[in-house]
Chains A and B, each alone.
Chain A
């Protein structure tokens, strides 16, 4: 009895309150998005907000159970968790229910479970277990490759479903790896890669008339500029760099510009010859490029209209016509932020972003106050996953990222994601509560 009380006292109530507020806030907006013109039937268990209320209840139960399990259990069983999850990911490819073109779900009557949401938890656990056992600096190649394998295997299985959104979320583990010693150059390289990607997409579609050659894609101009820049740096190296470092600089220049060209041509080929037309259109819509199919930007146009029409204070709870009458597809799940934007305006949006950002910063604080390497690395894993969801989901509804269907943590309707996020956070909170009693 005494022991339990001490756990309660050591729990991080700031995180718990933030999570609780996000759940209630999400549930209210789900109710509005579901109700249409009818008065909200709050306790109708068949409706979306009714089901969400059940899921919230289940998640609370799950949280209580998790908080009562010794942290050591999660560390010791992380390989088991991971293995079971891989089996589930394989199984879902075989016997899963196909929804919207992706085989991501196990159906159980009227509700379904998405194993990829739980794979995030087990991956974060195993990655923390691996890195906490090594020297923790990620300097040797073996640990790096093992880390990449731990993240890559479930990600590859999820890509087969296919569920590109979740795969991108797995990419977020790069932040955890960076904190544990991965070279900062990887982040810089990633940033440069992003620039090259955007430039390749922008210059890939329009065609330009070249002298002697005729009409061709404008991407050749971009490639020409890349080669020119590379050559220029190569030539100027003797003037700018001390002799001792010239050779290294030249090698790095050669490598990075070659990599940029390969990446760019790969993206161009992928866009023009591999991706399906509607995927390509989604990417073009994002960059404001001319798209002939008027329905290609339907989702994002309506999402922006719903948010943009909210103004400062919004149209009022249950008062938004775009929310009530089905103008925004997936409004109660991936596009739940549109309801907030339309009915609660800028103030509601600000509050939502504040809740999510405060939670993320709180998780960073939790991560950095750990003495246990395992807990710190796991905390970074949790933060990275939540951050990726936040980044992609909000970016998508605001028209800054392509339409990639992933839920907004704790707010979007759906049981699997809610339980997944609950497990992620409450395992961390249990480990955090034990931080003075362990010496790992």
Chain B
């Protein structure tokens, strides 16, 4: 080959390389590929602007739950490295945490994403942050993120308000838009009204530099959205009454539930012992939760809705009401107190209905229920009892017992009202008669109710035959009470039947020998009924339910004090103090109050 022709070889090499470069350039820039997304991931950053979570207020707009500022310290590992790192022992001093913990957190941040901020110290309160903030500039890669934390300044009603804490795996996978590190309501009102409380977060898009610092808005901010704050939830609870109730129940185990009878609004719902709400919102949650969980008095257990007790003597009022309505007795029907059939107490022998309730006469109600269940309509006593009971059970359930009361109170247990199916399972079909199951006639046996059911029963008595479903929410975001909360339920018992029962309830309080005389309130006519409930070998539970005043009742309530003795001794005076506090706004019975406050679990044997 002529040497001059070699210019074509060299020219060809130049041409081929240029064509290769053009092809590669087209491949990178014109073909669909990962590079555009990758560049966007490097240069664009999404900033979440948290929406203020709605507050939870009491019925008078007093604060139950609110938000206060706290600060998370975040760290961008790459930024720290580029600037040459820093002394971790120095930083651990500034942040007031152990160096070991700090190093662990930094390592975690590095493992997660080296160019993104991860929290290395969370929830620093505002005062502490003010002290540390002057020092933070010395540590490259550190950033501060302001974050609202949830707090309940009064510490009251913890079990009802529920927990607000970091989302778990399940929440992140739920597809409702939670991200790692978000907080949400996990129980109680916080969970039930999460969607209203939460609001909508805002998003700001930024262009960032190589150190991940925000430099300018992306697309002039056209993609940005503003946060929409969450709605406030107003509860039916009265914070002052709630506080007083929790104060009275200090050192005891039990429950107080108070309802406004005309509306079904729950005024106070105390489960004792309780705990300060903030114990479970702070950083020490895990430790506090463990110790609360191990506490033998079960402070995490919401007795008002989760604990089921036998109703005891209080149940006799329902028996009386149904018997009157069924026509098996009339108010003046007298029955011999035959203590051979079933035990009784006190000086009486031949009571009418009102006296039988006041004396809590067991043989009377044994006979009353026998007339309803073992009516003799069928020859076979087993068939007869079965038919009788299947008429009886639905009537009891009309009082809300054995039902979940519309299912609107989170966690409410139904309790138990026995039916034929239950006894068929226990003893076998046609293997039981009234003589087998009679203990339910006096509120023992297979009957179980919660304190809420009992308070609702008091409201039924106050209303003479109907109730509105007990509920705890008054307003959501200024839009009023959510629908379906307070549906009206009638027990089906005509109101004339309530005359002798309510008279009896008044006598229980006002008669000199009345078991509920400690429930008296100066100047107010209180109607009530004591209950003394067996708890195996242990001291009996002290139970009381009442409403007041007798005419145009404003409050209906149930009080449970576990293993405290008779209903008249402990539950009745507590009810008296609550009623006085709510109706008059003050407590005049200081001796009674002192006695209650000084009493603690375990109660002395009588």
| Chain A residues near B (Cβ < 8 Å) | 36-37, 137, 175, 178-181, 184, 187, 301-302, 304-312, 321-322, 324-327, 341-342, 345-346, 349-350, 353, 357, 360-361, 364, 367-368, 383, 387, 390-391, 394-395, 398-400
Whether, in the assembled complex, B18 has its beta carbon less than 8 Å from a beta carbon of chain A, the answer is yes
Contacts of A390 on B, CB cut-off 8 Å?
17
Interface centre among B3, B25, B35 (most CB of A within 10 A): B25
Which of B36-44, B322-330, B552-560 forms contacts with chain A?
B36-44
Q: What is the CA–CA distance of A390 and B20 in the complex, to the nearest angstrom?
A: 13
* Contact in complex: A394, B21 (CB < 8 Å): yes
* Contact in complex: B29, A345 (CB < 8 Å): yes
- Shortest Cβ distance from B149 into chain A, in angstroms? 34
Contacts of B21 on A, CB cut-off 8 Å?
353, 394-395, 398, 400
Q: Which of B264-292 contact A (CB under 8 A)?
A: none
Q: A307-B28, A309-B36 are in contact. List 17 more A-B contacts (CB 8 A).
A: A37-B216, A137-B3, A179-B7, A184-B1, A187-B9, A304-B28, A305-B35, A312-B30, A321-B39, A324-B215, A325-B208, A353-B22, A357-B14, A357-B15, A360-B14, A367-B7, A391-B17
- Shortest Cβ distance from A173 into chain B, in angstroms? 12
- Shortest Cβ distance from A415 into chain B, in angstroms? 26
* Contact in complex: A326, B29 (CB < 8 Å): no
Contacts of B104 on A, CB cut-off 8 Å?
none
* Contact in complex: B42, A350 (CB < 8 Å): no
Contacts of A309 on B, CB cut-off 8 Å?
35-36, 38-40
Known: A321-B43, A349-B25. A307 touches B35 (CB 8 A): yes
Interface centre among B35, B39, B209 (most CB of A within 10 A): B39
* Contact in complex: A398, B28 (CB < 8 Å): yes
- CB nearest neighbor in A for B33: A308
Whether, in the assembled complex, B484 has its beta carbon less than 8 Å from a beta carbon of chain A, the answer is no
B interface size (C-beta, 8 A): 38
Contact of B10 among A301, A306, A346, A364 (CB under 8 A): A364
Q: What is the CA–CA distance of A312 and B25 in the complex, to the nearest angstrom?
A: 10
Residue pairs across A and B with Cβ atoms less than 8 A apart, 17 shown, are A137-B3, A175-B10, A184-B1, A305-B42, A308-B34, A326-B210, A327-B209, A341-B28, A346-B25, A349-B29, A350-B22, A350-B25, A353-B18, A357-B15, A361-B11, A383-B10, A394-B21
* Contact in complex: B216, A346 (CB < 8 Å): no
- CB nearest neighbor in A for B3: A181
Contacts of B40 on A, CB cut-off 8 Å?
309
* Contact in complex: B30, A311 (CB < 8 Å): yes
Contacts of B6 on A, CB cut-off 8 Å?
178-179, 184
Whether, in the assembled complex, B538 has its beta carbon less than 8 Å from a beta carbon of chain A, the answer is no
- Shortest Cβ distance from B122 into chain A, in angstroms? 27
Whether, in the assembled complex, B26 has its beta carbon less than 8 Å from a beta carbon of chain A, the answer is yes
* Contact in complex: B25, A400 (CB < 8 Å): no
* Contact in complex: B210, A327 (CB < 8 Å): yes
Contacts of A324 on B, CB cut-off 8 Å?
209, 215
Contacts of A37 on B, CB cut-off 8 Å?
215-216
* Contact in complex: A312, B42 (CB < 8 Å): no
* Contact in complex: B38, A305 (CB < 8 Å): yes
Contact of B7 among A306, A322, A360, A364 (CB under 8 A): A364
Known: A312-B29, A326-B209, A391-B17. A180 touches B3 (CB 8 A): yes
